């Protein structure tokens, strides 16, 4: 035993060498993870911009959109950076002074110049789309509508942006691009959950658009899109003259033509009791939406509110013609419409009115009952309850609310059950719901027909995987080192054997 001297022999690897190797491995791992993170980190965002002017019948709004420069084709990347309301009325009201339509845009366009970085000005596209107000002006006098468009074009060309044109968009485009906007903002094109329909109410027209399983019975109401690899078969219709301002004229004209007018006083159940205003006949008949003019009538009349919600509903129903339908199903005025399907987003004046009346969360029956109650509130009480609300809007909310509920139920055939599928919305993720975003996405080719190739792992997943793997390798190295380092006991061989 004494000869067999136990001797601890150090691990054949020299200790400092092992430490050096471990340090190098650790440095390697850190460098690997850091490189992966830096390489995959979104670059310092550079934004691009686009401007769309919504030249509506009642007013013009200028929308500025922005998106990360390197992610143009990714869905959900474009957002509204700014919206500016042009002072004054819509461009169609400048038919007597077309130049005024051009100069009305200056304040908002100056704002756009300040908001968009100067080095992006030249490449920023500007589009102007005019809707139903200009469609009506074109019907009345196309040279006047051309003059107004020329004037806004001259004005927009004076800015350092990339002017792309001013035109009257079709009702189909207005409906379809509104549908694209709400579904793009809700990120529905990537989800399996499907899309939502779009309901847009303006002053001079209203649009309904939704994906329908039915085979379209009228090609004018159908639009097909392929977006992010999926086909969409849309039903869409725009009712010219069925925006809330034109429908009010239509309803007043019907009353004026009937026997309800006595001694220049027009009693109107859709206006509050105590409401009394002197109006000219031309303010009602100055539109191509009202076909039959009044003969032998006074130049003005007293518009006298009686505030009866039920009677108002009956009067509003008369603006829908249900007698002629040459298809299997119609909405109204002989227009083909398959049954409504799925959820809907209702925006623009649908939202303004329903939100003011506090009806956005009610079922159809409750909304109707609350509206009847609202309509019966005396005008003086209404005025004192809402001193800051524009008097024109305030006077018309009873009519507008009644029109909206009647349009949805009697016009589009929503039932108490399907009415629950309508959400009244102003914005989605900070961007306004409306046709403008969809219009720009389409014209800048930012909605690809096929889904863009995406890396198999998202950025976060990739970095996490790298970290986990690195930690695993590191632990294995430590474990391995510990195993090697365990002292090995050698017995010194007896000398005689050697
Ligand atoms: O705060 C509000 N309360 C009620 N109605 C509003 C409010 N803001 C805008 N509106 C209405 O929304 C409608 C917008 O229509 P727009 O001018 O877009 O016409 P269009 O789409 O038929 O061309 C107009 O009837 C306007 O009076
Ligand atoms: Ca509009």
- pLDDT for 351-390, tens place per residue? 999 999 999 999 999 999 999 999 999 999 999 999 999 9
- Closest atom of ligand 1 relative to the 131 alpha carbon: 23
Range with the lowest mean pLDDT among 16-20, 430-434, 460-464?
A: 460-464
Q: What pLDDT shows up at residue 109?
A: 98
Sorted by sequence, the CB contacts under 8 Å of residue 384 that are 6+ apart come out as none
Which residue has better confidence, 128 or 42?
128
Taking the C-alpha atoms of residue 462 and residue 442, their distance in angstroms, rounded to an integer, is: 32
CA of 352 to the centre of ligand 2 (A): 12
Residues that are catalytic: 174
pLDDT at 168: 98
Residue 349 Cα to ligand 1 middle (Å): 5
* pLDDT tens per residue across span 42-96: 555 799 999 999 999 999 999 999 999 877 666 669 999 999 999 999 999 999 9
The two three-digit tokens of residue 352, written as one number: 């303004």
pLDDT of residue 10: 55
Tell me, in angstroms, the distance from the centre of ligand 2 to residue 68's CA. 28
Nearest-CA residue for ligand 1 atom 11 is 349
pLDDT band at 498 (very low <50, low <70, confident <90, very high): very low
* Protein residues near ligand 2, an ion, with CB under 5 A: 56, 202
Q: What is the C-alpha separation between 138 and 359, in angstroms, rounded?
A: 36
Give the H/E segment covering residue 210. Answer: strand 205-211
> Which of 54, 57, 93, 436 has the most ligand 1 atoms within 8 A of CB, as the residue to mutate?
57
Note the pLDDT of residue 20. 82
469's CB contacts (< 8 A; 6+ apart) are none
- Ligand 1, closest atom to CA 397? 4
User: Among residues 475, 410, 494, which one has the least CA distance to residue 22?
Assistant: 475
Q: What is the pLDDT of residues 11-50, one digit of tens each?
A: 556 678 777 877 887 787 787 777 777 766 655 579 999 9
Q: Which amino acids bring their CB within 6 angstroms of ligand 1?
A: 56-59, 90, 131-133, 202-205, 243-245, 348-349, 352-353, 393
Which residues lie closer than 8 Å to 352 by C-beta, 6 or more apart?
A: 393, 426
Instruction: Go through the domains of the chain in sequence order and give each one's CATH number.
Output: 6-39+460-491 (no CATH), 47-168 (3.30.420.40), 180-454 (3.30.420.150)
Ligand 1 atom 14: residue of nearest CA: 202
Question: Under a CB-based contact definition with an 8 Å cutoff, are residues 64 and 116 in contact?
Answer: yes
Q: Which atom of ligand 1 is nearest to the CA of 132?
A: 23
Residues marked as binding for ATP?
203-207
Answer for the pair 83, 105: CB distance below 8 angstroms, yes or no.
no
**pLDDT number for residue 282:** 92
């Amino acid at each position: 035993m004494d000869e067999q001297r136990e001797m601890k022999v150090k691990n054949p690897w020299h200790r400092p060498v092992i430490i050096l190797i471990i340090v190098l491995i650790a440095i390697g791992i850190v460098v690997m993870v850091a490189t992966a993170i830096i390489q995959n980190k979104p670059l310092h965002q550079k934004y691009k911009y686009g401007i769309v002017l919504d030249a509506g019948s009642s007013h013009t709004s200028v929308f500025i959109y922005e998106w990360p420069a390197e992610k143009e084709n990714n869905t959900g990347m474009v957002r509204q950076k700014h919206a500016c309301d042009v002072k004054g009325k819509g461009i169609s009201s400048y038919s007597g002074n077309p130049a005024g339509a051009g100069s009305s845009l200056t304040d908002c366009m100056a704002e756009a110049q300040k908001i968009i970085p100067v080095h992006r000005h030249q490449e920023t596209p500007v589009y102007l789309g005019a809707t139903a107000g200009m469609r009506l002006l074109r019907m009345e006098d196309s040279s006047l509508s051309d003059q107004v468009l020329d004037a806004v074009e001259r004005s927009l060309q004076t800015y350092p942006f990339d002017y792309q044109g001013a035109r009257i968009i079709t009702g189909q485009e207005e409906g379809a691009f509104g549908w694209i906007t709400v579904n793009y903002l809700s990120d529905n094109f990537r989800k399996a959950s499907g899309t939502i329909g779009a309901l847009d109410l303006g002053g001079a027209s209203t649009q309904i658009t939704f994906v329908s399983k039915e085979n379209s019975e009228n090609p004018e109401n159908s639009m097909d899109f392929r977006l992010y690899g999926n086909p969409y078969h849309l039903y869409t219709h725009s009712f010219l003259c069925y925006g809330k301002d034109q429908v009010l004229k239509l309803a007043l004209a019907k009353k004026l033509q009937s026997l309800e007018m006595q001694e220049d006083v027009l009693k109107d159940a859709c206006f509050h009791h105590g409401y009394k205003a002197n109006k000219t006949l031309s303010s009602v008949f100055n539109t191509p939406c009202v076909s039959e003019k009044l003969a032998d009538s006074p130049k003005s009349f007293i518009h006298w509110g009686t505030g009866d919600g039920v009677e108002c509903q009956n009067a509003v129903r008369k603006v829908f013609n249900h007698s002629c339908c040459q298809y299997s199903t119609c909405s109204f005025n002989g227009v083909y419409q398959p049954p409504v399907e799925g959820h809907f987003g209702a925006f623009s004046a649908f939202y303004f009115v329903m939100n003011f009346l506090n009806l956005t969360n009610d079922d159809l029956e409750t909304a109707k009952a609350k509206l009847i109650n609202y309509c019966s509130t005396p005008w003086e009480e209404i005025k004192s309850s809402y001193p800051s609300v524009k008097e024109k809007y305030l006077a018309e909310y009873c009519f507008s609310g009644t029109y909206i509920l009647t349009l949805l139920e009697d016009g589009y055939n929503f039932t108490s059950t399907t009415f629950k599928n309508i959400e009244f919305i102003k914005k989605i993720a900070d961007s306004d719901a409306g046709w403008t975003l969809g219009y720009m996405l389409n014209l800048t080719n930012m909605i690809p027909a096929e889904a863009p190739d995406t890396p198999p792992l998202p950025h976060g997943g990739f970095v996490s995987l790298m970290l986990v793997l690195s930690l695993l390798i590191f632990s294995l190295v430590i474990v391995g080192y510990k195993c090697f380092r365990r002292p090995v006991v050698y017995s010194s061989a007896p000398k005689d054997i050697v």
